[in-house]
Structure 1
């Protein structure tokens, strides 16, 4: 009976020692959280293993994340994978479509971003921009003649335009003189001329009658204004004037109008011609509805592909700039050990219990072996 009791006692003591030892070892992974000092002496095994090695663990985790987990190659493969692009395209389409359906006006959107923009300020900026662009263009071409600026095609068009203008002027003159108003004007001019000639005019008027001279001269005028000679003369005159104008420099025309006034007036005309107030009152939906299908089905997929390729080519530089290893290290160093213990135990509580039970089992087996040895040699 004493032998059986001895065996059970040694088994129990060994199991208790083994279980407590493993349980204590598990707790010493985390506890105590801080070093314990008695005077200037620090108790051994304080703090626990993980708190004591937290900084080193943080450094190693940072290196592991960058070198083995979040590698540039892995991120590049993810960014260029077809399934990832499809997911991003679907997400981008949903987000863009939501934005395109907004009923906010352009003015309201600018106010949300605290951008103070009014129609007057926009018109002022447009006017200044047009004036500035005008000055830049004119500085380049001001010293050139009109002829130097015209291409052969434009020169040919100008010549045809002069010919057409001559024909139009002749037709207008002829039409005027064939009208009653024109005929009356000729009669009035002849009467006025005769009245100013004194006795000679009165003699001619009395000799030919009041309408006689008009009836003789009027057909001649009609014949002259409709004759080919008249058209040739008009063409020659207009071509001569055109050639004179073509030899003028651009700055000459600018001076005739007023250099400063021309740039300012041009800017004002363009600015006031723009319906800025109407644009500011239009909603995002109004602006984008004509182009919604093209934006969603053409622009968004192309933008996703372009951004994916761009990020893929820049991923190494981005990771270097982000310093991921330092971020991981800082986060691990700042992580509370009690929270880490709670997380680890929450995940592995069952496994730790099994380790404790295994320690008790091994301790019990060792106790049994010791009891057998004691009984055998005792």
Structure 2
């Protein structure tokens, strides 16, 4: 055999072996899937690298994802992004607007997602839950030391002197209107007649008898009513009543919830509250509520609901951000990733990797061919030099 064909044989053989070696090395990442035994002994390199190290890979991947990729800091930072909040607000607003225009009852809406038996069973569970929860919530409120120390004014959002004055003015106006209405009613007229009659009787003597003979009772009642109404409309009376009410409000706003709870629960008051809560007709209320139309329920409140959506989204995301670390610890993200990787089919993983890196794997195979060919060429030169 001449030197040329000898060189071709060396280069071709070495290139074939190099390419075949790299090809099998790539295949051995995924194959064989299971260990192969020969005469009771497991053959080396079986199973393939990824099937053999699947548990270790999944455990390491879970740790990487949980400790470095999906962290509480990263999720909290994502929750603070204005684009996320705006997107949630827009979708929630669109959902509320669409939901509020549905011309169907709540029962019809629920039956789109649940069967009648499922909804009936759910209502029974909801009624029992409301009965138990209402008692538990009231008991928790009464026993909470933190709440018992709070004054009533601390629980009123935006409470200040201006709000106090506005409340006092509202009460004064409502009180004066109610008194005027009562004075002009039949019952009020009877009361005024009784008062004027008692006044005449208490006058006594000749003047009292003379006044009883010559004074018209109807005119007296009319004049007394007019005088009282005139005084009620005067700024001085309004200011006097307003000052009295403001003082009372100041006294009440300093009362702690503990004092309120003690007043409520004295003389077996809590037992009466428990009995009333357990007797509440939750089932009847739910029956009446499910006959309401969605548009009827949400329509009049749509504007106020839409206005509150940004505040609701902010509050929800802030609460979620505060608890994101405990949530991640609770769900144990590394363990979830580990279980998902372990259960992921090797065949599908191979297809994904080959579809993404197939070109690179082919390049590695051809690199083996080239390197093998170079080695064969070097062997050819060595052979020629030895001749």
TM-score > 0.5 by shorter chain = yes
| Counterpart selection for 1:340 from 349, 358, 362 | 349
User: 1:292-311, aligned counterparts within 5 Å?
Assistant: 292-296=302-306, 298-311=307-320
1:60 is paired with a residue of what secondary structure?
Answer: helix
1:67 equivalenced with 2:80 (yes/no) = no
Instruction: Quote the residue 1:17 is aligned against.
Output: 17
Aligned length: 259
Q: Does the CA contact (< 8 Å) of 1:170 and 1:226 recur in 2?
A: no
RMSD: 4.0
Instruction: Quote the residue 2:27 is aligned against.
Output: 27
Superposed displacement of residue 367, structure 1: 0.3
Q: Does the CA contact (< 8 Å) of 1:58 and 1:333 recur in 2?
A: yes
| Counterpart selection for 2:298 from 285, 288, 313 | 288
Q: Does the CA contact (< 8 Å) of 1:37 and 1:43 recur in 2?
A: yes
Instruction: Quote the residue 2:328 is aligned against.
Output: 319
Q: Distance in 2 between the 1:22 and 1:67 partners?
A: 35
Q: Distance in 2 between the 1:222 and 1:277 partners?
A: 63
2:89 is paired with a residue of what secondary structure?
Answer: helix
The alpha-carbon distance between structure 1 residues 163 and 57, as it changes in their structure 2 partners (threshold 3 A), is: closer
TM-score (norm 2): 0.58
The alpha-carbon distance between structure 1 residues 34 and 275, as it changes in their structure 2 partners (threshold 3 A), is: closer
User: 1:234-273, aligned counterparts within 5 Å?
Assistant: none
| Counterpart selection for 1:168 from 165, 190, 193 | 193
Q: Distance in 1 between the 2:17 and 2:285 partners?
A: 90
Superposed displacement of residue 168, structure 1: 3.1
The alpha-carbon distance between structure 1 residues 89 and 275, as it changes in their structure 2 partners (threshold 3 A), is: closer
Instruction: Quote the residue 2:367 is aligned against.
Output: 358
Q: Does the CA contact (< 8 Å) of 1:12 and 1:367 recur in 2?
A: yes
Any gaps of 5 or more consecutive residues in structure 2?
Answer: 136-171, 198-208, 222-279
Larger radius of gyration: 1
Instruction: Quote the residue 2:213 is aligned against.
Output: 223
Q: Does the CA contact (< 8 Å) of 2:85 and 2:314 recur in 1?
A: yes
Q: CA offsets per residue over residues 24-77 of structure 1, 9 Å max, x none? A: 000001100000012320000000000000000010000000111101111110
Q: CA offsets per residue over residues 264-323 of structure 1, 9 Å max, x none? A: xxxxxx99xx99987653311111112212322x22111111111111111110000101
Q: Distance in 2 between the 1:359 and 1:337 partners?
A: 26
The alpha-carbon distance between structure 1 residues 107 and 9, as it changes in their structure 2 partners (threshold 3 A), is: closer
Q: Distance in 2 between the 1:307 and 1:80 partners?
A: 12
Q: Distance in 1 between the 2:41 and 2:285 partners?
A: 83
Deviates more, 1:100-109 or 1:64-73: 100-109
The alpha-carbon distance between structure 1 residues 52 and 110, as it changes in their structure 2 partners (threshold 3 A), is: closer
Any gaps of 5 or more consecutive residues in structure 1?
Answer: 130-152, 173-218, 232-269
The alpha-carbon distance between structure 1 residues 169 and 110, as it changes in their structure 2 partners (threshold 3 A), is: farther
1:369 equivalenced with 2:359 (yes/no) = no
User: 1:20-99, aligned counterparts within 5 Å?
Assistant: 20-99=20-99
Q: Distance in 1 between the 2:110 and 2:294 partners?
A: 12
Q: CA offsets per residue over residues 188-227 of structure 1, 9 Å max, x none? A: xxxxxxxxxxxxxxxxxxxxxxxxxxxxxxx999727747
Q: Does the CA contact (< 8 Å) of 1:170 and 1:225 recur in 2?
A: no
Q: CA offsets per residue over residues 58-104 of structure 1, 9 Å max, x none? A: 10000000111101111110011111111111122222222222222
1:31 is paired with a residue of what secondary structure?
Answer: coil
Q: Does the CA contact (< 8 Å) of 1:19 and 1:358 recur in 2?
A: yes
Instruction: Quote the residue 1:114 is aligned against.
Output: 119
Q: Does the CA contact (< 8 Å) of 2:101 and 2:294 recur in 1?
A: yes
1:114 is paired with a residue of what secondary structure?
Answer: helix
TM-score (norm 1): 0.59
Q: Distance in 1 between the 2:340 and 2:37 partners?
A: 28
Q: Distance in 2 between the 1:38 and 1:18 partners?
A: 27
